Amino acid sequence: MRRAYRPAEHRLGGGVAAGVAEHLGVPVLWVRVGFVVATWFNGAGVLAYLLLWRFLPLRGPDLSPGLEAATRRGLRVPGRPGGVEVVQTLAVLAVGVGVLLLVQGGARPGGSMLLPLLVVVGGIAVVWRQLDDAAWQSWFTRTSGGGFVLRVAAGLGLVAFGVLYLLTQERGLSAVRDLGLALLVAVVGLLLLLGPWVVSLVTDLGSERRERIRSQERADVAAHLHDSVLQTLALLQKNASDPAAVATLARRQERELRSWLYGEEELPGDSWAAALRDVRADVEETHRIAVELVVVGDTPLDADLVAVVRAAREAVVNAAKHAGVDRVDVYAEVGQGVVEVFVRDRGTGFDPDAIADDRMGVRGSIVGRVENHGGTARVRSGPDGTEVALTMPLSQPAASPEEPR
């Protein structure tokens, strides 16, 4: 079963609407409207929102180590909701409150508890939003400073306002019940106000555990760097007199580190894009050439596509061997019912027709292989270099690009 989360970024309030929208796969605006509409019915929307806020776990953005570190150190801006979304939500809220007042004002004078309740909830939300946000938490736990005073004053003011409003609105009830209710509201308000401090006390206990995890992570990173970068640096020094070897080593290390940092991780071997990335790694290593690979879309690998991958590999190897260049561009696209691969170099071209029949390279390994599987291969060569274009119809429709991975 899929678990629902509240995202830590792209949220306006508690992230409940964003989380629910992501879970259900609907636009977040619908969810917000849903909450507002539900509020018209005895405040069910507010209640649902608060409950979900309490019970949905917060999830930080799932980033690769490099991006996560960059975000943490302020080197990149984390995603935030756009201005349009804020305005949209405020508009929805305004309409919601308007309808609410209309309904309340008309029917039952005794039932007008919802408005003050909303104000109280607003005040509390201001305080709790702070606790929720990891980045603001340290700021929040500070118990001095202008912002702190302002925020607590706002929370207290709103709670007091709500209580007063409740008291003045309650008519025809006994004084005892008035007092009891007021006390109860005040106590609940105070509890909620002080809640953050209580919780932060409890979380202090968790910080020790966090520290342990962090040191383990540090050890993992150190191990990773030792196994990869450090080894490569040693190899580079050993091979300093051989520029080609140095370039190959550096490039392999770059590729490896990049995939680790920026999340181009190897997928299981049944993906088209992963197969092409394998080809790139393999050819770069054995033939000392840079392969610039751009892949658009992905699809599961079948026998036909394996043939295309092998043919593409052959084309890249050919370029590496004969074109006399240090770089080959490979572009692969999964389109509507067809996959295409283009392998291009800017080296010395050749005449495809002039190749002897017994030379297997182009004819057998590239053109023949693809045509046997129902695809087409076109080789174009000239003074500007060589381009091999491979096309293969897809047996089953590719996953739509909008589908989650």
Partner 1 sequence: MNPLHVLVVDDHAMFRTGVRAELQKDPGVVVVGEAEDVDTAVPAVLATRPDVVLLDVHMPGGGGAEVIRRVLPQAPEVRFLALSVSDAAEDVIGVIRAGARGYVTKTISGAELVDALHRVASGDAVFSPRLAGFVLDAFAGTIEVAQVDEDLDRLTEREREVMRLIARGYAYKEVAKELFISVKTVETHVSSVLRKLQLSSRHELTKWASDRRLI
Binding residues for partner 1, per CB under 8 A? Answer: 10, 27, 62-64, 66-67, 70, 73-77, 79, 84, 254, 258, 261-265, 267, 273, 292, 294-297, 329, 331, 333, 342, 344, 384, 387, 400-402, 404-405
Residue 63 or 92 with smaller CB distance to partner 1: 63
Measured CA to CA, the distance from residue 355 to residue 184 in angstroms comes to 92
Measured CA to CA, the distance from residue 95 to residue 101 in angstroms comes to 10
Residue 39 or 271 with smaller CB distance to partner 1: 271
Per DSSP, helices labelled H in 107-230 are 114-132, 134-141, 146-169, 175-225
Least CB distance from residue 290 to partner 1, whole Å? 9
Q: Which of 279, 384, 265 is nearest to 323 (CA)?
A: 384
Residue 112 or 232 with smaller CB distance to partner 1: 232
Least CB distance from residue 104 to partner 1, whole Å? 35
Q: How many CB atoms lie within 10 A of CB 215?
A: 10
Least CB distance from residue 169 to partner 1, whole Å? 43
Least CB distance from residue 294 to partner 1, whole Å? 4
Least CB distance from residue 401 to partner 1, whole Å? 4
Burial bucket for residue 299 (CB in 10 Å: 0-12, 13-18, 19+): middle
Residue 211 or 265 with smaller CB distance to partner 1: 265
Least CB distance from residue 182 to partner 1, whole Å? 47
Residue 141 or 259 with smaller CB distance to partner 1: 259
Residue 134 or 164 with smaller CB distance to partner 1: 134
Do 311 and 366 touch, CB atoms closer than 8 A? yes
Measured CA to CA, the distance from residue 290 to residue 352 in angstroms comes to 24
Residue 103 or 267 with smaller CB distance to partner 1: 267
Which residues are paired to 342 by β-bridges? 331, 389
Q: Which of 257, 233, 368 is nearest to 307 (CA)?
A: 368
Residue 178 or 278 with smaller CB distance to partner 1: 278
Q: How many CB atoms lie within 10 A of CB 102?
A: 11
Measured CA to CA, the distance from residue 370 to residue 309 in angstroms comes to 9
Which residues are paired to 334 by β-bridges? 339
Least CB distance from residue 324 to partner 1, whole Å? 16
Measured CA to CA, the distance from residue 126 to residue 77 in angstroms comes to 23
Crossing angle for the helix pair 83-106 and 114-132, nearest 10 degrees?
150
- Rounded to the nearest angstrom, the gap between the alpha carbon of residue 58 and the centroid of all alpha carbons in its chain is 14
DSSP 290-302: EEEEEEE---B--
Least CB distance from residue 66 to partner 1, whole Å? 7
